């Protein structure tokens, strides 16, 4: 495939991925507990992030995706103080942006230290890479299934040439 076609295919895949890519959650079974508003926020932020990456900005996971991951992590095991601050920071940003209301002041975190900012960036990069890997794996599975279905169809009775025999 020529490079231009590959770029176009990737762009289409990225746009479809906004709606179809899985939401990466911390292992432990709490993924179903994500609130609907957070799921919607993930889709909206993916849309914005994809548009920005098509304009040349480095793609990364979104604030809402990081919030969902840390939300499920915190339900699975206690977070240490740095990760608790990171979670409350990203939850404050996400909640206020998408719920259009202020986070209660007793839990809102408005600033991270340099170490925490670095960990948040690392988490968002990891979430993006994991999401893309899962999409590529799903694409491979679908292509393999289509190939197998095509092979079955090619060897089915319907694919046999039709002969007619006329006896005397």
Q: Is the pLDDT of residue 1 over 60?
A: no
Q: How far apart are CA 127 and CA 162, in angstroms?
A: 54
Q: What would the mean pLDDT of 42-55 be, rounded to a whole number?
A: 92
Would the pLDDT of 166 be above 80?
A: no
pTM confidence score: 0.83
- Least confident residue range of 57-61, 86-90, 111-115, 116-120: 57-61
Query: Could you tell me the residue ranges of all domains in the chain?
Result: 3-134
In whole numbers, what is the pLDDT of the chain averaged over residues? Answer: 91
């Amino acid at each position: 495939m020529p490079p231009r076609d590959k770029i176009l295919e990737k762009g289409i895949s990225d746009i479809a991925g906004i709606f179809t890519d899985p939401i990466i959650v911390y292992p432990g079974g709490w993924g179903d507990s994500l609130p609907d508003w957070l799921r919607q926020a993930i889709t909206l932020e993916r849309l914005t992030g994809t548009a920005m990456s098509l304009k040349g900005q480095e793609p990364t996971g979104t604030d809402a995706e990081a919030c969902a991951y840390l939300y499920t992590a915190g339900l699975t095991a206690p977070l240490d103080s740095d990760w608790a601050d990171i979670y409350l920071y990203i939850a404050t940003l996400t909640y206020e942006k998408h719920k259009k209301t202020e986070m209660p002041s007793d839990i809102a975190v408005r600033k991270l230290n340099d170490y925490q900012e670095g960990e948040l960036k690392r988490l968002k990069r990891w979430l993006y890479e994991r999401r893309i890997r899962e999409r590529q794996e799903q694409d491979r599975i679908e292509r393999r299934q289509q190939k197998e279905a095509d092979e079955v169809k090619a060897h089915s009775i319907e694919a046999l040439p039709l002969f007619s025999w006329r006896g005397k």
